[in-house]
């Protein structure tokens, strides 16, 4: 039993609830509760707050055994560009790796946090300084929420910007060749000129790789979901145009080429289209 599993079991026992009673209150199976407490799996991000409220503890304590400082709580609650805590997401991913024995993802998590340390997302309207690691952490949590648990895919999600933004060579990545190839395809070359032929070649390379395709779609979905506060209007318009021209066709190719991801692709496509249709209506004059 790992430390998180022990805390889940102890917190439940302290409330006097049985596993069956917890399952009934959370609308899940008793087997799921048992699996959490044996360390075979971890609760998803939507169930953690419900569990914490049910047990009278915090989600941070369930994840890591520690309480966040008041300063961190205050900072996080005031950042509109930052819906979740980086520390909480990292702890959740680490616990998931431990439960599922995702060794590559565990190494990628430490490596990405080290290499992106001191980097920040480009500020938009709010001018808030959000650590860059927030982006790959959120992508990885999104992948887990969609049921994507492949070690190579999760580790590629964490590392997808490391080579391009941190000056790291592909051979330096602490993962296997399969993951390195996906990261290589996702990394734009240093002399990338943003011409139409270069974009075509870039996306064609990604389309031929199952893991690179899914990570690119998660990346775009994550950026689209947050660009209303982090992108300027001009950058947003350009991003929408690129999405319509290259990402939508990539999704259609993925639907035919990778049917094993049909459920995840449906949800990603729904989220992206919902956000973009609203933004296109609002910014019609800039996009047409």
Domain limits of the chain? Answer: 1-67, 78-287
Distance, in Å, from the CA atom of 93 to the CA atom of 159, rounded to the nearest integer, reads: 14
Topology of the domain covering 1-67: 434 Repressor (Amino-terminal Domain) (1.10.260)
* Residues counted in the chain: 288
pLDDT at 127: 60
- Please determine whether the domains at 1-67 and 78-287 fall in the same fold group of CATH: no
Percent of the residues in the chain that have a pLDDT greater than 70, as a whole number: 87
Which of 52-66, 100-114, 122-136 has the highest mean predicted lDDT (pLDDT)? 100-114
* Topology (CATH) of 78-287: Hypothetical protein af1432 (1.10.3210)
The pLDDT tens digits of the residues spanning 58-96 come to: 777 787 775 544 443 444 444 445 667 788 889 889 888
Per residue in 3-38, pLDDT (tens digit) is: 888 889 988 988 889 999 999 999 999 999 999 999
Q: What is the pLDDT of residues 192-242, one digit of tens each?
A: 998 999 999 999 999 999 999 999 999 999 988 877 666 777 778 888 889
């Amino acid at each position: 039993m790992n430390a998180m599993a022990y805390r889940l079991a102890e917190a439940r026992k302290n409330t006097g609830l049985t596993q069956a009673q917890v399952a009934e209150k959370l609308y899940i199976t008793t087997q799921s509760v048992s699996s959490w407490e044996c360390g075979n799996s971890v609760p998803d991000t939507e169930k953690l707050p419900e569990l914490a409220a049910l047990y009278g503890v915090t989600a941070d304590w369930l994840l890591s055994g520690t309480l966040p400082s008041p300063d961190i709580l205050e900072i996080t609650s005031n950042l509109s560009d930052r819906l979740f805590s980086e520390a909480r997401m990292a702890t959740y991913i680490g616990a998931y790796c431990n439960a599922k024995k995702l060794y590559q993802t565990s190494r990628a998590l430490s490596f990405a946090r080290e290499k992106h340390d001191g980097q920040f997302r480009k500020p938009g309207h709010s001018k808030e300084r959000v650590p860059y690691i927030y982006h790959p952490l959120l992508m990885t949590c999104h992948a887990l929420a969609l049921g994507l648990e492949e070690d190579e895919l999760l580790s590629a999600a964490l590392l997808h910007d490391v080579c391009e933004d941190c000056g790291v060579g592909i051979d330096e990545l602490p993962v296997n060749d399969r993951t390195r190839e996906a990261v290589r395809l996702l990394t734009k070359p240093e002399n990338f000129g943003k011409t139409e032929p270069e974009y075509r070649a870039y996306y064609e390379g990604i389309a031929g790789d199952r893991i690179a395709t899914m990570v690119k779609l998660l990346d775009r979905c994550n950026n689209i979901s947050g660009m209303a506060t982090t992108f300027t209007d001009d950058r947003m318009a350009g991003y929408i145009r690129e999405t319509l021209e290259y990402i939508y066709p990539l999704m259609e190719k993925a639907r035919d080429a990778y049917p094993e991801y049909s459920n995840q692709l449906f949800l990603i496509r729904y989220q992206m289209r919902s956000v973009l249709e609203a933004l296109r209506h609002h910014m019609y004059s800039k996009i047409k």
